[in-house]
Each structure stands twice: as structure tokens, then as C-alpha cells.
Structure 1
Amino acid sequence: MEASTTTRDDAARVLLQAYASGVPTAPLTEQFDGLTVEDAYAIQLAQVAGWTAAGRTVIGHKVGLTSAAMQKQLGVDQPDFGHLMDDFVHLEHQAIPLAGYLQPRIEPEIAFVLRKPLTGPGVNVAQAIDAVDYVLPALEIVDSRVADWKITLVDTIADNASSGGFVLGSTPTRLQDVDLRLTGCVFSRNSRIVGTGAGGAVLGSPITSLVWLANTVGALGTTLEAGHVILPGSVTSMVPVAAGDVLTATFAGLGSVTARFADK
């Protein structure tokens, strides 16, 4: 049984208050009985509607929990998606202030930029490939408004799939020039390796993640738009970040991307 509209609205307000106060909240699943995945997406969309009404813009989507490593790390068993807003973007090498984050972590991804819309359900691999303009190395800053990252699948979905921000590299690559499944990544923090992985960790291929996203959001009436950025999921486990950290992901054949966090 799905939650009432009032319960969903109350849950959305709890998360928005965490954003505003900078104080994480207890898991929604502990505060509201019986929340379902459907409720969680409704709670997410209620927040997005408020953000867009306030003048913010959706510039893409992210898929989370796509790798076995991430699912094991957070104790979930299926992917989820969230919305990317225009103010999530940080420029490479420029200092990222931590003040806007509660419990930030970071992970390396291969970002898609679309050249034409994708509307599901019914999108297949060939259509997804045809819609991609190019890929970029990327670092996603994930964050949780839920205290101590004590999240279930429902909690993270409601919390916009634990989105926070992202940094894109500046070396575009066409899909025909790379096999994303075999693309390896070395992930370092302050010049020390903290993770390695490959594109195949993302549901077997990041393209599979893009197909899943197009069909999942399409069933909800949403189209992936031309020019939008799609973050398909991490190729390694996420790592925490602190003031002064410098993180770099180097992808074979795609180049590298660096995120630098402010000292204060």
C-alpha cells in the first residue's frame, strides 16, 4: 500500500529541512511506516518540482547503485536514479566548497552527453548508442541527507539518489572510439590510489545503465533530453572527501578528471 500524499509531502519537507539546516535526518523509513519505492520516487519528484519552481533547472540524470561494489557497500540490490540540477556542476580544478555538503563522498564515472532525446519505455541498446553525442570522464559528488549514510533503497531514492554534484573532464570521446566495458580507471586521492575499476562494473556496460534509465524514467513520463548529462554509475566504491583533498580519475582512452576541494 502506497503512502498518502500528505505523508509523501511530509517526507519531502524533512529532506528539504536537512538541506536547509545542514543537519542530516534519521532515515525516512524509520520516520514513516511502510514507504515503498513508488513513494520514494514521488518524494524525490516533489523536491525536484520545488527546485524547478524556484528557478533551478534539470540538466540530466544519474543512475546509482549500478555496481556490485556499490550495492554491497550500501546494502541494496537494484539501481536507482536521481535528477541533476544546474547548480550541481563544478569546474575541473577549481576549489569546491564543502559548506554546501553534509556527508560528501566521491566516485568516478563515465558521463554520457546526449545529442538527441531518448524516450522510453522500449528503448534498446542501438537506440541508446545512437542518442549519445560523446562521453567524458567524470567525478560524481554523492551526499546523503540521511544521518551516517544509514540508507535503504527507499531512503536513497527519496533523497534524489544521494545526489550532490559533479565535475566533468574536458576530453570528449565518441562511442565508436572506445569500448566502455573494457575502459579501465585508476582513482586517486592526494596522489594515492584509492580504487581501480572498469566500465564493465556498471551493469556490465554503462550503455546498459543508460538503457535502464531511459526506460525507467520513460515509464514515469520523463524524456532524457538532448544536451543532458547522464551519469550511469560508479566504476569503483565511493570514498569520503575532506577539506583540501584532490581527487583524480584517469580512464584509459578517455583522459582524466580532477576535483579539488577547498581547504576550508
Structure 2
Amino acid sequence: MNEFSSGDDAVTRAADRLLRVAADRVPCPPVRAVIGTDDVKAAHAVQELPAPRRLAAGGRVTGRRIGFTSPAVQRQPDVEQPDVGVLFADTGVEDGASVPVDEMLQPKVDRGDGTAGPGDPPAALAWLARTARDVGDPLRADTVVLSGALGPMVPAAGGDVFRADITGLGSVPVRFHTSGGEGVPA
């Protein structure tokens, strides 16, 4: 796990802000205003700090995710490098299931064609492996990894259906619905 002082008020404040967002489902200003924009270890600590609380509440880690892997995607939120986060079992979607948009703050879908990606998906995985090692939480053999978007993200709404065709792997459809049922498969 990341190392930071328990007295690091900025990291704790930023992590608490994100936990409130998750609990209340109300967006907050970017945490970079609290921790700054050039302390990568602090940013990773903010992402990792809530994990023990989720684990204590019964959450189960299933993997890691890499975000902002392409230059095109990095320009959208105005960041300069990829980021990494934890995947919990309760955030997964089973094959054929519909995603409830009203349980998300800003549902978005990758609409890229792969040309804006990191050039080689193993390059993104190598970056994650190095970063995870450097912050003291190396990848394990059974870690599920989401290696990042292939292009810019677009908003998703109830009733939307998207499909990714991945050469050599097949197709992955995703359907979004609202609690009123719009978009739920029959």
C-alpha cells in the first residue's frame, strides 16, 4: 500500500471527500485542489485510503484499473499521466446485465477505436506494474486489470446501448437503464 503520514491532512481530507461522494452520490470539486497536481504518491494514497474501509464493510478487491492511458483521454480532464485505482466486486457488471445509470455520478462510455490508445495495451499494463510496485502494492498473478480507455469518453443515459468489437476477442455489449426500468432487457 502507499506510504504517507497519518498526519497528512491533505490526503485524509481528499479521501474523506471521495468517501462522502460515494455515500451521498453528490459530486465534489476535483481533489487536486486539496492535494495539488504534482504529487503522484499523494494522489495514489487518496485512491487507496478508502479501500480498507470498503474491505472492512465487506468489500472484495477483484483487480486494478488504469485510467487516462491515451493522450486524447488525458486532455479531457486535463491530466498529464495515467492513474490507477482498485476494482471492487460490487462494481462489476455480469455479462448481459444492464447498468443502472441513476446509481452513478457521471456514467460514461469509451467510444474510441483504439487509435488513441497507449499504442500497445501491454505498455499500459507495464506502466501499471511499475507504478504498483513503486507504491508498494505490486500486481499479483490473479489480479484482474482493466487497461484503460481506447478513446474519449461520452455520456451514457438510461436506454443507451453500446457495443465494443475487439478483434481476436469478440464483442462486449453494455446496456444502461434508470430505476424506472428504461433500458432494462426484456
Q: Same fold (TM over 0.5)?
A: yes
Q: Deviations over 1:140-197 (max 9, x none)?
A: xxxxxxxxxxxxxxxxxxxxxxxxxxxxxxxxxxxxxxxxxxxxxxxxxxxxxxx442
Deviates more, 1:240-249 or 1:98-107: 98-107
Of structures 1 and 2, the one scoring higher in RCO (CA 8 A, sep 6+) is 1
Q: CA 1:82/1:56 → structure 2, altered by over 3 Å: closer, same or farther? A: same
Among residues 136, 151, 158, which one is paired with 1:236 in the alignment? 151
Q: Is contact 1:244-1:261 (8 Å) kept?
A: yes
Q: Distance in 1 between matches of 2:169 and 2:67?
A: 21
Tell me if the contact between 1:56 and 1:86 (Cα under 8 Å) persists in the aligned partners.
yes
Q: Structure 2 residue aligned with 1:206, among 121, 125, 128?
A: 121
- In structure 1, the residue matched to 2:113 is 197
The aligned amino acid for 2:51 is V
Q: Structure 1 stretches (4+) deviating beyond 6 angstroms?
A: none
The alignment-based identity, stated in percent, is: 37
Matches within 5 A, 1:44-123: 44-107=47-110
1:82 shift after superposition: 0.8
Q: What amino acid maps onto 1:202 in structure 2? A: G
**1:28-39 paired onto structure 2 within 5 Å:** 28-30=31-33, 32=34, 34=36, 36-39=39-42
State the secondary structure of the residue aligned to 2:142. Answer: coil
Following the alignment from structure 2 to structure 1, what is the Cα–Cα distance between the partners of residues 32 and 86? 21
Distance 1:29 1:246 in 2: 33
> Structure 1: how far apart are the matches of 2:107 and 2:63?
20
Displacement of 1:57 in angstroms is 1.4
Q: 1:249 aligns with which of 164, 170, 174?
A: 164
TM norm structure 1: 0.61
Aligned-residue offset at 1:253: 2.1
CA contact (8 A) 1:202 1:209 kept: no
Residues in 2 aligned to 1:73 and 1:259: alpha-carbon distance in whole angstroms: 23
Is there any run of 5+ residues in structure 2 with no aligned partner, and where?
181-186
Deviation at 1:33, TM superposition (A): 6.0
- Please give the secondary structure, in 1, of the residue aligned with 2:63: strand
List aligned pairs for 1:93-242, cutoff 5 A: 93-107=96-110, 195-198=111-114, 201-242=116-157
Q: How far 1:6 moved relative to its partner?
A: 2.7
Q: Structure 2: how far apart are the matches of 1:211 and 1:106?
A: 24
With over 3 angstroms needed to count, the CA separation of the structure-2 counterparts of 1:25 and 1:45, relative to structure 1, is same
Letter in 2 for 1:5: D
* Higher deviation after alignment, 95-104 or 204-213: 95-104
- More strand by percentage: 1
Residue identity matched to 1:12: A
Output the CA distance in 2 between the equivalents of 1:102 and 1:90.
17
Q: Structure 2 CA distance, aligned partners of 1:27 and 1:212? A: 24
SS in 1 for 2:76: helix
